[in-house]
Amino acid sequence: MSTEKEKMLSGKAYKAFEQQLVEERQYAKELLFDFNNLRPSALEERQAIISKLLAQTGEHFYVEPPFRCDYGYNIQIGNHFYSNYNFIVLDCAPVTIGDHAFIGPNVSLFTAGHPIHKELRNQEYEYAFPITIGNSVWIGGNVVVNPGITIGDNVVIGSGSVVTKDIPSNVFAAGNPCKVIKELTDEDKPYYFRQQRID
């Protein structure tokens, strides 16, 4: 018989208040309490906590406190990662983030969901589907990414968006629900630098 954790990780309905899962969330909360309450100058200590908490960290990563997640062991971040204040990851399923990812303030990645029918929801069933974010992705502030979403490479998600469907590579997408606005090309390079020469 599968454990509740095994069900959770395989995308099946599970009960999150099973003892093992409660203990694992509590362990993550303890580490996050230390992380979020260190002095700003304690950079090495903060980096060490994140490295211990997450499944994988790349080179040159920075997570701005406060940061929240459920377990940590389901989160992988690539090289040159940055997340701003109040990054929330409900990592009941794997969350994989590529290289050169910029995460704006108040961004939430939700792998977790609940049944829409009250009877199952009241029995405390949950489910979780993975989130995958590609390389060179910038997610603007106050964005919500829902369970099971894949965001391609070289994508910009506009602030305040709610991502309910997969987003292909090389686009700017925004809105609620989030939709592709335009394809990104080399013509976009000078967009913010029209008054300057960038060599």
Catalytic residue among 60, 80, 100, 114: 114
Q: Is there a catalytic annotation at residue 117? A: no
Token look-up 């013509």 returns 187
Contact, 151 vs 132, CB < 8 A? yes
Report d(CA 176, CA 61) in Å as an integer: 29
- Residues known to be catalytic: 114
